[in-house]
């Protein structure tokens, strides 16, 4: 069983959106399709000093900023990773 690529902290995954330009909107012929926008996920090793372990997580950059703000132990525990 494979897991979908999503952030361990924020839960961000891919989103489906339209690919339109303003020039395309102005014409009657509109051959644009859907595009899958991927979350900005990074594979990071995060050291948690409270438990003296390093944890590998797929995390978005927004999740990294959350860890920087609130601390690794509190954030990962709240997300259910620890």
Q: What is the mean pLDDT of the chain?
A: 87
Is residue 20 included in any domain, yes or no? yes
Residue 71, domain CATH: 2.30.170.40
At 70 the pLDDT is 95
**pLDDT (mean) for 62-71:** 95
Q: Please count the residues of the chain.
A: 82
Q: How many domains does the chain have?
A: 1
21-43 b/e (C-beta count within 10 Å ≥ 16 → b): eeeeeeeeeeeeeeeeeebebee
Say if residue 27's pLDDT is above 80: no
Is residue 70 included in any domain, yes or no? yes
Q: How confident is the model at residue 5 (pLDDT cuts 50, 70, 90)?
A: confident
At 12 the pLDDT is 93
Is residue 7 included in any domain, yes or no? no
Is residue 8 included in any domain, yes or no? no
- Write out the residue range of the structural domain in which residue 57 sits: 15-79
Is residue 73 included in any domain, yes or no? yes
Say if residue 21's pLDDT is above 60: yes
Residue with tokens 């703000």: 69
CA torsion through residues 62, 68, 70, 74, sign = positive
Is residue 29 included in any domain, yes or no? yes
Say if residue 53's pLDDT is above 60: yes
């Amino acid at each position: 069983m494979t897991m979908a690529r999503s952030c361990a902290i924020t839960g961000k995954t891919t989103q489906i959106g339209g690919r339109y330009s303003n020039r395309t909107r102005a014409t009657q012929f509109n051959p644009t399709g859907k595009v899958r926008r991927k979350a900005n996920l990074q594979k990071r090793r995060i050291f948690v000093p409270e438990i003296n372990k390093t944890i590998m997580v797929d995390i978005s950059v927004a999740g990294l900023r959350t860890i920087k703000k609130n601390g690794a132990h509190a954030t990962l525990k709240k997300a259910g990773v620890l």
